[in-house]
Amino acid sequence: MPQLLIYKMNVFDHFSNEAKVWVYQANKPMSPEQQKRILAKAQEFVEAWSTHGKALSADAAIATPYHLVLAIDGSVQASGCSIDTSVRFIKELGMREGLDFFDRLKSVIVTSDGEFALVPFHSVKNYPECQFFHPMVSTLGELRNKWLMPVSSL
């Protein structure tokens, strides 16, 4: 099984399961150099991220070679404007790195031999022995417990 970087690093341990998360999947694997650059930029972003003048308690992590995750704790809710700001940031970050974090037509699966593979979303069910990353997780609890699921559970 491939190492999920988010669990290896104990990222987000200081947030409750109710923390809001946004998972951005790249259209190709991020190289180790890209991961370092992207994580550094994402951490700069979350340190300055605010809503209506209030700082958000936020963090960022590279979860797999395909996934960037932003999280905020529940003490201050993100506004529509602050969420729009994060989307613009992710789009710009992707453009700088030659990645598309908004291609929803593909899904990442973990093959039976433990490798990541990017497959068309509509064909995920053709891999019943694999696991897939559920694209609709929205809380840290879901990320921790329901993000990586057996394809057979679909």
Give me the chain's average pLDDT, please.
89
Between 2-16, 47-61, 125-139, the lowest mean confidence (pLDDT) is in 2-16
pLDDT at site 50: 82
Q: What is the Cα–Cα distance from 101 to 80, expressed in whole angstroms?
A: 19
Between 25-29, 50-54, 69-73, 111-115, the lowest mean confidence (pLDDT) is in 50-54
SS3 assignment, position 109: strand
CATH class of segment(s) 5-103+138-146: alpha beta
Residues of the chain above pLDDT 90, percent? 66
pLDDT reading at 75 higher than 70: no
Distances in Å between the Cα of 7 and the Cα atoms of 3, 12, 46, 53, 76 are 8, 9, 20, 32, 25
Instruction: Kindly report, residue by residue over 91-145, the tens digit of the pLDDT.
Output: 999 999 999 999 999 999 999 888 999 999 999 999 999 999 998 899 999 998 8
pTM above 0.75, yes or no: yes
Domain boundaries, the chain: 5-103+138-146
